[in-house]
Chain A
Amino acid sequence: MKKESGNTSEAIQDETMLIRRILDGQTGLFRLLARRYAGQVLQMVARLIPSPEEAEDTTQDALLEAFQSLARFDARQATFQTWLMRIAYHTALKHYRRHHKEVCMVEVEQRWLDNITDTETDVLLDDTAADRVALMEKAIGMLKSDDQMLLTLYYFDNRSIREIACIMEHDEAYFRSRLQWIRKRLAITIKTLERNEGR
């Protein structure tokens, strides 16, 4: 554990030195940073942009943006990786909004959200039955792009709320309540889809 944390701090120091040298004019060294993080940036981008070509171009845009605003990076606020993910998320979101229309097929009213209990939501989202999971996939696709990203960062990447708040640039309390709201909304959508399919 100690060795791991030592390695992390060494990596951070190495990164900080690397960034300093790039800022001093050795721009070729940015290739090292790009090689290290390009895969993660692509994964983040691909969640919003399914086309491989578009995703690669957007990844390049994100890395170029990171290079141009490298002087703004503050190691005290976040790690370089989190900072880079933030840039990747915003670049991908900008690209997505420019080229795709937000699809929201199920209108959810506030009174439905008020009527569904927490227990009912927990049971629905904890169910691993294949047809339920398929409906859940569909329901996730009906969410807004930033809500989809929030779910992915929290449940799939296992990132903390603090990190998510840093990447998506909002306060932690907002994301806590937003997650609860998305869960309820998903539960209602699943129920509605089940009813529509006559289950």
Chain B
Amino acid sequence: MAEVLLSTDRLVKRFGGLLATDTVSIEVRAGEIHALIGPNGAGKTTLLGQLTGHLTPDSGHIHFAGRDVSRLPAHARVRLGLGRSFQITSVLREFTALDNVALAVQAHAGHSFRFLGDARRDPALRDPARRGLEAVGLGPRADLPASALSHGEQRQLEIAMALAGVPRVLLLDEPMAGMGAEESQLLVGFLRGLKQRCGMLLIEHDMDAVFALADRITVLVYGRVLATGTPEDIRGNPEVRQAYLGEAA
């Protein structure tokens, strides 16, 4: 079995009386896409928030790359190789596409307490950034402001930014959201090709994409793990069908 890169150990998070994350233990291995599905309000976003470091769990632990990162701030987890993309597109709108990726490269290239050199003419930042844009098919759009890109292109830009940080695990929060069928298909192909480079935790409502991509699926309902298994296991699980797939299938 492949190495476990990211795991949670009986994670609990409460909001007042609401148990949003109820003793959740999941893991993401190298070279796999682990999909997290569940109806709205199942606690997917809350779980993701704890993984990224924007929420602090009430109890339980998060291990990443061989260490306990439960208390590590968000930026430090990214530096360890825990990349993410956002549910709602999040790019630097007034910067060009190339600037966006170059900043991601810069974040990975040590500290940025450099005050005089022109970062926009630094080949050590610009060249990898340009290659990253080309890899997601945005090469010709490099010099446009991010705000001028289409929705689908901005999502591709986000992925290029996340990849520029050379992540070992990528947290993908509904990457297909708002995409057309054709764009989704392209992204599915792209993510499949990415598996060699990093493990992925995929939160997605598009079931076609989930079953096409996932090596394993975890179903979350009311903050609890209902089932974890291969796509076939999940498809055949009567509890899952009743709780979740029943309404969609």
Q: Verify that A and B bind, or say they do not.
A: no
Chain A residues engaging chain B, CB cutoff 8 angstroms = none
